[in-house]
Amino acid sequence: MASRLAGSLALFFLLASIAVLIAVAVVQVHKRTYESAGQRFGIVLDAGSSRTTLYLYQWPAEKENNTGVVSQNLSCLVEGPGISSLGQDSIQDQKTWSSLKNCVAKAREAIPPSLHSNTTISLGATAGMRLLRSQNETASDEILQSLENYLKGLPFSFRNASIISGEEEGLYGWITANYLKGNFLERNLWNLWVRPHGGETIGSMDLGGASTQIAFNTPLDEGVGAEGFIRVWLYGYGYNVYTHSFLCYGKNEAHKRVLAALVLAKKSPSKTVENPCFPVGYRTNMSAADIFGSPCTEQRPVYAPHEQFLLVGTGDPAGCRAVVHTIFDLQSCHGLANCSFNGVYQPALSGHFLAYAGFYHTANALKLNRSFTLDLFNSTTFAFCSKNWTTLTANYEIKEKYLMAHCFSANYVYTLLVEGYKFTAETWNNILFEKTVDKSDIAWSLGYMLTLSNMIPAEPKLLRLPMDNSVFAGLLFMFSSLAILSLMFLIISLVRVCY
Ligand SMILES: *[C@@H]1O[C@H](CO)[C@@H](O)[C@H](O)[C@H]1NC(C)=O
Ligand SMILES: *[C@@H]1O[C@H](CO)[C@@H](O)[C@H](O)[C@H]1NC(C)=O
């Protein structure tokens, strides 16, 4: 009688355990398929000074607030100049618009139609539009309005179209760099134990066409309330990010300033200007408007806009470095600790730095890879600047307008990093020149989207539901053991009944 009761009990436990096992597995598998089906997309238009780029980002919906789950699905370069040039030439405008529409169509094709209305779209304009706004606010407002009207007419969920500030641009770049590098930890019970102050972060240096940004994390008590510091809370950890954006110190505007300095310094009344940053054998005509027509190079009434100059390369690296030097105001930092240039406060550099966009392109043009010494950078620059135009065109398959500017760029990068930001031969080794991380471009646009969409919560949940894999495995183990034990018990009691 007793063994019969024990047998029924064992049978009951066996069936119950199997039922629970099936239930747990079904829930988990269901969750899994739901997750893999649930992708989300977001589009950001990075409207730079010299060009616009469309980025399409993608991530699993259920994990959208987790660290490092967003990746770049595609990027599309809009042909033509930056949006700040819209409204100046109707033929060029048409080309720009049709290329923009092509990029949007590409993104549209990459997103399943059912998710279009769930996909956010934003446009952020940077230094080119900051400069235009300073010259003519009506014109910049009109451009943004026409773009906003266009974006609102698309089947996506429109978020924003605006000019972002230089400090925001720097901060978003820093967020992107650290997000892609996987440096943001989530403050959970385990991380609080091993990393009470969060993980190590990397500094960010961006070089665009019209502005350049530096941003890095500093100790929490540094520069409290001072200009240039932004406090952010990400996944439960606090960061104190120093950031500064130098307007007119992007690669193209800095180049114009160097050309302007050369033209203004020429002594003879002739229209020929020797340029030590251009290679020997290279000569080109430029109008006064090309050089002085930007807010970054004060318009000198001495030159009529159509006046032409003949620039003749002398391929002199030391001379190039000397003229690049003149566009930096190092005097106003003289004697001050913690100062970069133009009298701007900058705390002591620390940790590693990611140098992307124009920094990467300059290193890449010199055929230098990722990380190299300052000595090597200098010797490569000098060798490059000393090559004549015939040798350069034979050895580099780069468009003329880029190739002729690389000697300038290399000297500019040196002067900005070493004389400006104060990198030394030693700290230079902490700089990584990179363009992408795991096929996602390092660009402020990703940090901008993450921030606009609240995808980086200030405070994470310490405990997360539904269950993660370790909990699932634990339950599986517990109920499987119970089932096996019940089965053994059942067999034993059946054996007893039979004999
Ligand atoms: C992510 O965080 C935001 C803001 O805290 C919240 O509204 C949203 O529901 C979260 N999404 C997921 C999938 O947890
Ligand atoms: C500013 O832009 C508007 C619109 O494009 C134009 O009509 C106006 O003439 C411009 N003003 C100046 C001072 O250039």
Q: What is the token pair recorded at 414?
A: 């040196």
Question: pLDDT band at 43, cuts 50/70/90?
Answer: very high
Q: What is the pLDDT of residues 290-305, one digit of tens each?
A: 999 899 997 666 778 8
130 C-alpha to ligand 2 centroid (Å): 16
pLDDT score of 123 more than 50: yes
Task: Provide the CATH number for the domain formed by 39-247+436-455 in this structure.
Answer: 3.30.420.40
**Cβ count within 10 A of residue 244:** 19
Looking at ligand 1, which atom is closest to the CA of residue 61? 13
What pairs with residue 456 in β-bridges? Answer: none
Residue with CA closest to ligand 2 atom 12: 136
Map tokens 């269950």 to a residue.
467
Mean pLDDT over 204-216 rounds to: 98
Mean pLDDT for the stretch of residues 445-449: 97
3-state secondary structure of 334: coil
Name the closest-CA residue to atom 7, ligand 2. Answer: 139
Q: Where is 374: in which H helix or E strand?
A: helix 374-386
pLDDT tier for residue 471 given thresholds of 50, 70 and 90: low
- Distance, in Å, from the CA atom of 112 to the CA atom of 119, rounded to the nearest integer, reads 10
Q: Which ligand is nearest to the CA of 60?
A: 1
Residue pointed to by tokens 């940090």: 447
Q: What backbone torsions phi and psi does residue 366 show, to the nearest 5 degrees?
A: -85, 5
Ligand 2 centre and the CA of 294: distance in Å? 15
Name which residue sits closest to atom 4 of ligand 2, judged by CA: 139
Question: What is the pTM for the complete model shown?
Answer: 0.85
In this predicted model, what pLDDT tens digit does every residue of 172-203 receive, in sequence order?
999 999 999 999 988 777 877 888 777 899 99
Select from 138, 140, 141, 143 the residue to mutate for testing ligand 2; criterion: most ligand atoms less than 8 Å from CB: 138
Residue nearest atom 3 in ligand 1 by C-alpha distance: 454
Strand partners, 46: 53, 124
**Sign of the CA dihedral with 14 first, then 20, 24, and 29 last:** positive
Instruction: Write out the DSSP string of 244-282.
Output: EEEET-SHHHHHHHHHHHHHHH--SSSSEEEETTSPTT-
First vs last C-alpha separation in the chain: 14
For residue 1, the model assigns a pLDDT of 54
The full set of domain ranges for the chain reads 2-32+466-498, 39-247+436-455
CA angle 275, 207, 95 (to 5 degrees): 85
Closest ligand to the CA of 35: 1
Ligand 1 binding pocket mutation candidate from 234, 454, 455, 463 (most atoms within 8 A of CB):
454
Binding pocket residue ranges, ligand 1, CB within 6 Å: 62, 64-65, 454, 457
Pocket lining for ligand 2, CB < 6 angstroms: 87, 136, 138-139, 142
Nearest-angstrom CA–CA distance, 272 and 274: 7
Which of the residues are catalytic? 169
